[in-house]
Amino acid sequence: MLQAKTERLSLPLYILAFLLFWEWLRPLPFISDVQHVHFFIGFAAFSFFLSYLRLPAWLTFSAKLLAMLAALHALFVFHAPLFHPLWLVYLIDDVKENLAFVFSGDWVSFTDSFRTLLFFILLWITSFLMHHWLIRMRKLFLFFFLTVIYLAVLDAFTAYRAEGAIVRTVIIGLVLLGLLRVLNVQERENVTFGAKILPASWIGALAAMIAFATTVGYAAPKAGPQWPDPVPFIKSATYGGDGGTSANLGAGVQWIGYDGDDRHLGGAFRMDPTPVFETMGEHSHYWRVEAKRVYTGKGWTESDNAKSVRVDGAHLAGTPILSLYEKGTQVEQSVDRVQVLGDDFPQIIYGGTVTKVARADDVNQFRLNEETGKLEPLAKGHPVTVKTYAVTYQYPVFSIPKLKSVTGGDPKDIKAKYLQLPPQLPKRVQRLAEALTENANNRYDKVNAIVNFLHSGDFEYNTVDVPKPGRNEDYVDQFLFETKRGYCDNFSTAMVVLLRAVGIPARWVKGFTQGEYEETVADNGYKFIVRNSDAHSWPEVYFPGSGWVPFEPTKGFDNIAQFTFADSSDHRASAPAAPKKTEKKAPKQDKTQNEVKKSGAGSHRTALDIGFLLKIAGAIALLAILAAAVLFQTRRKWLPGYLLRRFRKRSDGAALEDAFKWLMRLLALHGFRRRDGQTLREFAAVVDRALGGGDLRVFALIYERKRYYRPSPELWQQSKQFWENIIINLRG
């Protein structure tokens, strides 16, 4: 009866354990490049469910393996059915290739698909461990404690806000520990509650204690920090600096570079002049990587229905997201050649409407995000860094008269996509946008009114003292009305939001500036060096008849796009002049090298990135290993005391058997090992002679009686004193 009732509690135990484990997966988008967390959450839930069902091992293994393969297929394969031979061959080859990296210690060369496979295996193992801790051990405190520590570390060192997660974890953990404690008491004392699984009084008491503890913890006044914030010191010690004296370091200093995560903008940055590309072409222009259209109040993201498709690099002409310009814009066909200098940039950069991308490896397969325009070279189904490629594109010259003729007339799909604003956007942003544009009677003048406002003396270009918005602050509102200082992300995002607030479609683009002019090459080409410090973001504004037009609101920067006062029908507009060598010394060009961002446009890694978190985890693991080693070496000293405390309150029928097993282990640890063929009484006589007395002989006699009689608490009570005497003698 008792076993049947505890089985009925297994389902809520598994549900609570899964909810607790879910808290480990929630932060992944904030601390890594993982974009499809729902696959991992779904697989974990499926694994927990199979563990609850306790199906035959072969069936559970097969089901989990099939689910894992299906998830990998959905994430990395677009062109073949799940059980197609080509897909399975690719998977086997990928595993073989990565196993070679494992044996050679080349961890950084793992493919994304193999990393994902390893993570699925980790989830699989975790589901098994949770089953072991819940059903067999009835202990989960260590996992609960580690979850709280994990969330606290992420809250301190990353952009993840873990306040709500910690509250959820504490509530779930306390409920789990309470239920497990009740089950332990029931099983040890052989207690039943009639027809009920648990008495209402126990459930009520548990719920009341948890509610009281949670309410008090949430509502009680919190004292301010009692010690200096250690985070700036750790960051400074890791990356160098002033020891964390700058107040700005505590907000998360960032490093320049490209990153795909733009959800949390703001914060200071450090420079990185590492070269990323060498480019050669006829024109000087900004380098696009992708454009975002959904503003959240904290940063930029993709819409829920954004999707990627495979495309052939030789046939990109006419692709909607890559077609930036319309008939009213004069364009010139041109070719840029790009050489990637690093090993980790699996995106294509381009300067206009792309019609063709030719890779040096002649494998013209790409993945195109149909919402952002990001182009990623593919090899075996996953993005790779292509060292050399050529981009054929249309270089634009925009007609100012044509732009000034626009007062509206946007297509419905453009307005639906590029006028989005978060509902919580402060009203004063709307009022400011209306005030700035009220005297302009066409779109071009309205756009420039906002550009001029952001270029005014009210705003400061600053990359050091740039705070992040608070929990209830809007990123743009903070910049426009509170701080009035920042870098490209602040200026460009503010301009897009102000334009949308007055009904002008706009989007946020990230990539790089033109870079540093190096030399003039043959065929009227110019060579540029593009560095991490050239990372940049800017707005594009939609003009019916002309397409997407770039503008430059960042203070200290000039718009290098080509504009002409000739009508769009006048094809005599001149091409841009060759850049001069002195451009390298121009202040505005230098300021470009100060651009950076937390994600996307000035992509960089936060000072406490995944590598540093791994160092922290490694240090914790090392300390745990050292502690385990010390405990193992000193176990003869502490184990007797532990056993005395553990069995002091035991009174159940199974206590005698457990105590006997532990006693045999402890005796073996002290050099008393029972030989093959030696009876228990013979072994007891040997031990008693060595220790003095006859406690083990009496204990052995009572233990032998257990074999012929049903185990009962009375036998344990009769033998308990003799067992304790032996333990005390060994400890002495």
Q: Let me know whether 369 and 336 are in one domain.
A: yes
Q: Phi and psi dihedrals of 336, rounded to 5? A: -110, 140
Please say whether the dihedral angle defined by the alpha carbons of residues 206, 212, 215 and 217, taken in this order, is positive or negative.
negative
Instruction: Report, in this order, helix, strand and coil percent for the chain, each rounded to 5.
Output: 50, 15, 35
Residue 226 lies in a domain: no
| Residue where the block lists tokens 């080859």 | 93
Distance of CA 43 to the CA centre of its chain: 17
Q: Let me know whether 359 and 467 are in one domain.
A: yes
Provide the β-strand partners of residue 333: 394
Q: Let me know whether 212 and 282 are in one domain.
A: no
Helix axes 610-633, 635-648, angle to 10 degrees: 90
Question: Residue 704 corresponds to which amino acid?
Answer: E
Residue 520 lies in a domain: yes
Q: Which one, of 305, 319, 306, lies nearest residue 348 by Cα?
A: 319
Residue 561 in contact with residue 399, Cβ under 8 Å?
Answer: no
Q: Let me know whether 473 and 518 are in one domain.
A: yes
* Segments of the chain scoring below 70 in pLDDT: 1-9, 32-35, 77-82, 86-87, 108, 159, 187-199, 222-258, 568-619, 706-712, 732
Residue 726 in contact with residue 696, Cβ under 8 Å?
Answer: yes
Distance of CA 174 to the CA centre of its chain: 27
> Residue 552 has what pLDDT?
95
Token reading at 101: 């990296």
Q: Let me know whether 548 and 612 are in one domain.
A: no
| Residue where the block lists tokens 């029908």 | 569
Helix (H, G, I), strand (E, B) or coil at 600: strand
> What distance in Å separates the CA atoms of residue 396 and residue 690, rounded to the nearest whole number?
97
Q: Let me know whether 235 and 300 are in one domain.
A: no
The domain of 306 spans 269-606
Residue 491 in contact with residue 555, Cβ under 8 Å?
Answer: yes
Per residue in 173-182, pLDDT (tens digit) is 888 888 888 7
- Output the pTM of the full model: 0.51
How many structural domains is the chain composed of? 4
Question: Residue 191 corresponds to which amino acid?
Answer: V
> What distance in Å separates the CA atoms of residue 257 and residue 312, rounded to the nearest whole number?
28
> Residue 376 has what pLDDT?
92
Residue 225 lies in a domain: no
Beta-carbon contacts of residue 292 (< 8 Å; ≥ 6 apart): 262, 300, 301, 302, 372, 507, 508, 510, 600
Distance of CA 540 to the CA centre of its chain: 29
Q: Let me know whether 178 and 242 are in one domain.
A: no
Please say whether the dihedral angle defined by the alpha carbons of residues 150, 153, 159 and 164, taken in this order, is positive or negative.
positive
Q: Let me know whether 23 and 53 are in one domain.
A: yes
Q: Let me know whether 212 and 238 are in one domain.
A: no
DSSP assigned state of 710 = -
Residue 11 lies in a domain: yes
Residue 517 in contact with residue 279, Cβ under 8 Å?
Answer: no
Per residue in 483-498, pLDDT (tens digit) is 999 999 999 999 999 9
Q: Which one, of 346, 275, 351, lies nearest residue 532 by Cα?
A: 275
Beta-carbon contacts of residue 37 (< 8 Å; ≥ 6 apart): 25, 26, 28, 29
State the CB neighbour count (10 A cutoff) for residue 100: 11
Token reading at 626: 């050292």
> What distance in Å separates the CA atoms of residue 111 and residue 725, rounded to the nearest whole number?
60
> What distance in Å separates the CA atoms of residue 663 and residue 671, rounded to the nearest whole number?
12
Residue 224 lies in a domain: no
Residue 282 lies in a domain: yes
Residue 545 in contact with residue 406, Cβ under 8 Å?
Answer: yes
Beta-carbon contacts of residue 556 (< 8 Å; ≥ 6 apart): 461, 587, 588, 591
Q: Let me know whether 301 and 354 are in one domain.
A: yes
Beta-carbon contacts of residue 390 (< 8 Å; ≥ 6 apart): 335, 336, 337, 338, 357, 358
Residue 259 lies in a domain: no
Long-range Cβ contact pairs of 205-212 (< 8 A, separation 24 or more):
206/175, 206/178, 206/179, 206/182, 209/174, 209/178, 210/171, 210/174, 210/175, 210/178
Per residue in 654-670, pLDDT (tens digit) is 788 888 888 888 888 88
Q: Let me know whether 238 and 135 are in one domain.
A: no
| Residue where the block lists tokens 């651009």 | 595
Question: Residue 579 corresponds to which amino acid?
Answer: P
Distance of CA 163 to the CA centre of its chain: 17
Residue 260 lies in a domain: no
> Residue 591 has what pLDDT?
39
DSSP assigned state of 684 = H
Q: Let me know whether 713 and 657 are in one domain.
A: yes
Beta-carbon contacts of residue 337 (< 8 Å; ≥ 6 apart): 279, 280, 281, 388, 389, 390, 391
Q: Which one, of 288, 591, 586, lies nearest residue 463 by Cα?
A: 591
> Residue 234 has what pLDDT?
57
Helix (H, G, I), strand (E, B) or coil at 519: strand
> What distance in Å separates the CA atoms of residue 153 and residue 613, rounded to the nearest whole number?
9
Number of H helices and number of E strands within the chain?
Answer: 24, 21
> Residue 709 has what pLDDT?
61
**What does DSSP say about strands 269-270 and 535-543: parallel, antiparallel, or unpaired?**
unpaired
